[in-house]
């Protein structure tokens, strides 16, 4: 048995790992553990622990981060899978195979910068990103697709709209903004209008629930959902957005990775370019832009672009009425940004991990 640890820097990394865990369980050759840093907020850790109980794997958790790191180090894992560099160098042993499945595929430069020479294998979700990382000098890459999206090919366990207080005979719009920069501030006064004739599901970022700076976002959306009967605010316990992709007809987002993930389903996407920057980012605009993947952002041609919040309602109705608009662009983008939509990214990754282990043992 190979002993493997999934190191979750945050709760929202877990959806990337669950499909990999599922494949490992089927192969019955892995002793699976998960962990989350002690410094995470208590409510976030509580949700994480409950989620792990449901998937029935072992958990390493502690109230003291130094103690948690020591426990992991002492376990001498054969494989450690991470979503960012984080504590990687403190928890791996010399013989540990370190694997990165990066937690997001959005528009931030951190995708290219959050790297370490200790990574033995990095899962890459598209050919274009594979070549770009290679040009950046990164090695040990394996082209897999995006593991988080694997469950989108399944037809069972579809969420029930009625149980959410929504109407099954209506179109369903999913709004999934980033935490920063976010479109939420500018779209908040408009969102209620969408729910007059449609279901509106709002899925906030993990930080909107668990980071003090962004708590105003969940509070404001809670107030909104209380005013409109056809709005469902996804609670923090339902941290995985994948089930909500499957029941929605259209996505609204901004700079979030969701605009790329949702391509899997070839359904209309609205990308909101309207957001507020913090004062320091307005003053030091060039420094802010360096954090963004501007070339990737400018290359997005598969979404309806929204610059004026007042146009949101009409754009939503257009997307719902004409879902084939931009379909060819979306299909091209599937290949460009997701490599394959066959639900087998986790299988490809695990095959690459096992090959790497065999090659290392020769």
Task: Record the tokens describing residue 306, joined without a space.
Answer: 């929204």
pLDDT band for position 288 (50/70/90)?
A: low
Domain count across the chain: 2
Residues 127, 24 share a domain: yes
Residue 86, burial from CB neighbour count under 10 angstroms (0-12, 13-18, 19+):
middle
* Residue span of the structural domain in which 180 resides: 154-338
Same domain, 237 and 356: no
pLDDT, tens digit (0-9, with 9 covering 90-100), for 148-197: 999 999 887 799 999 999 999 999 999 999 999 999 999 999 999 999 99
Residues 26 and 172 in one domain: no
Q: Are 164 and 155 in contact (CB under 8 A)?
A: no
3-state secondary structure of 17: helix
Residues 127 and 43 in one domain: yes
- pLDDT for the residue 8: 97
**Does the N-terminal peptide bond of residue 181 adopt cis geometry, omega within 30 degrees of 0?**
yes
| pLDDT band at residue 291 using 50, 70 and 90 as cut-offs | confident
Task: Collect all residues with Cβ–Cβ distance below 8 Å to 224 and sequence separation of at least 6.
Answer: 188, 191, 192, 202, 231, 233
Strand arrangement of the beta sheet that strand 2-7 belongs to: 58-60, 30-35, 2-7, 79-82, 97-101, 121-124, 141-143
What is the domain-level CATH number for residue 162? Answer: 3.40.50.2000
Report angle CA 342, 347, 348 to the nearest 5 degrees: 85
Both 103 and 201 in one domain: the answer is: no
Pair (347, 333) in one structural domain: no
Is residue 53 domain-shared with residue 111, that is, in the same domain? yes
| Mean predicted confidence (pLDDT) in 120-128 | 96
Total-model pTM:
0.95
349 and 329 assigned to the same domain: no
Tell me the C-alpha distance between 232 and 228, whole Å.
Answer: 9
Same domain, 256 and 174: yes
Same domain, yes or no: 165 and 185: yes
- 321 and 352 in a single domain? The answer is no
User: Are 59 and 115 part of one and the same domain?
Assistant: yes
């Amino acid at each position: 048995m190979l002993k493997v640890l999934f190191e979750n820097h945050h709760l929202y990394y877990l959806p990337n790992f669950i499909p990999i865990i599922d494949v490992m369980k089927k192969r019955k050759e892995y002793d699976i553990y998960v962990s989350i840093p002690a410094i995470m907020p208590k409510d976030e850790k509580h949700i994480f622990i409950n989620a792990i109980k449901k998937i029935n794997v072992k958990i390493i958790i502690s109230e003291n981060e130094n103690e948690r790191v020591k426990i992991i180090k002492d376990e001498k894992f054969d494989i450690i899978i991470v979503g960012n560099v984080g504590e990687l160098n403190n928890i791996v042993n010399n013989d540990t195979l370190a694997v990165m499945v990066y937690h997001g595929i959005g528009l931030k430069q951190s995708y290219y910068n959050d790297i370490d020479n200790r990574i033995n294998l990095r899962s890459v979700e598209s050919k274009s990103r594979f070549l770009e990382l290679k040009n950046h000098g990164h090695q040990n890459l394996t082209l897999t697709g995006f593991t988080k999206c694997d469950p989108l090919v399944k037809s069972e366990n579809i969420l029930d709209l009625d149980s959410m207080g929504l109407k099954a005979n209506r179109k369903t719009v999913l709004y999934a903004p980033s935490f920063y920069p976010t479109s939420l501030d500018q779209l908040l006064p408009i969102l209620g209008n969408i729910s007059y004739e449609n279901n509106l599901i709002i899925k906030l970022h993990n930080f909107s629930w668990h980071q003090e700076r962004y708590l105003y976002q969940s509070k404001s959306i809670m107030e909104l959902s209380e005013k409109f009967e056809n709005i469902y605010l996804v609670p923090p316990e339902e941290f995985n957005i994948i089930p909500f992709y499957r029941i929605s007809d259209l996505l609204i987002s901004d700079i979030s990775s969701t605009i790329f993930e949702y391509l899997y389903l070839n359904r209309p996407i609205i990308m909101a370019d309207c957001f507020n920057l913090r004062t320091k980012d307005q003053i030091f605009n060039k420094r802010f832009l360096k954090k963004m993947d501007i070339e990737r952002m400018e290359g997005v041609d598969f979404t309806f672009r929204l610059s004026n919040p007042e146009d949101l309602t009409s754009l939503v109705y257009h997307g719902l009425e004409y879902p084939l608009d931009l379909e060819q662009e979306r299909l091209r983008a599937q290949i460009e940004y997701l490599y394959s939509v066959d639900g087998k990214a986790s299988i490809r990754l695990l095959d690459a991990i096992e090959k790497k282990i065999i090659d290392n043992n020769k």
